Structures are given as structure tokens and as C-alpha cells.
Amino acid sequence: MKNDPEAGPARRASDRGRHGRLSRERVLATALELVDREGLSALSMRRLGSELGVEAMTLYRYASSKEALLDGLVEALYLQLEDRLAQAPTGSTASAEGPGDRRPEWRDELHRIALTTYEVCFAHPQVVPLISTRMMAVPLARRPPAVLRDHERVLALLRGAGFDEERAAAVFHAFTAWVLGYVSVGLRAMVDNPDETDPAFRLGLHRMPPHELPTLRAIAPVLAEQGGPEGLAAGIDAVLGRFADAE
């Protein structure tokens, strides 16, 4: 049998970029770095090829289209989540209960997953919108493996905690919606003029009609404050407590 010319020296040479042999992981990691630095609008096959030191056409072996590359960014984010979860010991989050109490292990692990997701997302804010937009466009079975493993991780915890399939699905949806919704709200642009020191002018409240939006104007400075990990944890306790108490 003749050797595939695509697998010969010409291909191996074309796959060698500025920093050595390419791989899907390297391509996605470089795309993530580019988007972190310059935003999604900077991402193109040509620009990514320039970053890697290869022709743009070479990249189609690792992402078949721009849409596939965007899905790859989501994959890269979830791979980072997976790596961080593997590095941090299970049960490393502090319990929100009193000194004599402790959350069940499954709830403690969900807190750990949520906090790690929060940290990864805030490290890559430019990619976070793709979690919603690309997952809306991609059917469940075609999502990146790292995303599917994240779904499996959460659902297995819930099934192991004794939830039947229907309740496990309900908790999964509520948990995921809270975590990703909390991250998205936390990353919303709020500051109108970062050079202003006065909170009202910093937020641009003078641009809002006072008679039409009195409540929003009054509460906007509080909305601009991020709840941080504490707010994330409080919401998870509320969500999980609602289902646990119904058992």
C-alpha cells in the first residue's frame, strides 16, 4: 500500500510552526491567548496562522471552519476547567455551614466545580459569551468532549447523591443556569467612563432619564459591585437547598 502523501514529509514540515510541531491543543491554546489579548474580533485563520508561524490553510486540519474554531475556544476553556479540577483536591472548598456541620460531599464538590468555573471564566472573559452562543448552535452530542465531560461530572454527582433521573436533570439545569448566569452578570460592562472618580459619572447615570428610570439610577451603583465567590456560593446553597429540602 502506498503511503498517504498527506502524511509524508511535506505535511510534517507544514505542521511545524514557530514553536515546534502543531497539535490541536496548541492551536486552541494560541487562539485563546489571542482572544484574551485582543478580543474575538481579532480571531481569524490568517491571524492565528501568523501567531503560530504557519500558513492559514494548515489550521484547517485542526479546525475545519471559523465556527469550529469558536467551538474550539469553548473546548479550550473547559479543558482548563478540567485541569484545574484535577489539580485541586476534592473537598477543598470551605463549608458554608456552622462549625459543627458540613455540607454533604456531593454539595461540597458542586461548590468546588462552580468556584473553579467562575475562576476560569473570569480569566478568559472574552470567551465566556461563546459558552451561550455556541452551545445554542451545537446539539448536545456534537459539543466538545470536555464540555460533555463537565455535564457528566455534575450529573454523576447528583445521581450518586440519590436523585432520580428527573430530579438530577432539574438540579443540573438550575445549577448550570445559576453558575453561568452569575458569571455573565459579573462580566457585564457597567462603567461608562473609567477615568471618572465620582460614582454617578463613572457609571454614566446622567445619561439615564431620571423620571423614567428612577429605581435603576438609584440601585445602579450597587449593581455595579460584583458579588464575587461569596455571592456565587450563596446562590448555589439556595438552589441546592431548595431541591435537597424537597427530598
The 10s digit of each residue's pLDDT in 205-244 is 999 999 999 999 999 999 898 889 999 999 999 999 888 7
pLDDT at 246: 60
How many other CB atoms sit within 10 Å of the CB of residue 150?
A: 19
Q: Categorize the per-residue pLDDT at 140 as very low, low, confident or very high, splitting at 50, 70 and 90.
A: very high
51-78 mean pLDDT = 93
User: Among candidates 33, 125, 93, 137, which has minimal Cα distance to 230?
Assistant: 93
What is the pLDDT averaged over residues 190-204? 93
Answer yes or no: are the C-beta atoms of 147 and 75 closer than 8 Å: yes
Which among 227, 244, 246 has a CA at the least distance from the CA of 235?
227
Cell numbers 455540607 correspond to 103
**Residue 220: which of 235, 204, 240 has the closest Cα?**
204
pLDDT at 17: 56
49 has a pLDDT exceeding 70: yes
Cell 435603576 belongs to 216
Q: What SS3 string covers 109-166? A: HHHHHHHHHHHHHHHCCCCHHHHHHHHHHCCHHHCCHHHHHHHHHHHHHHHHCCCCHH
The answer to whether 100 and 157 have CB atoms below 8 angstroms apart is: no
User: Percent of the chain scored above 90 by pLDDT?
Assistant: 74
Residue 12 has a pLDDT of 45
Domains of the chain: 1-64 (1.10.10), 91-245 (1.10.357.10)
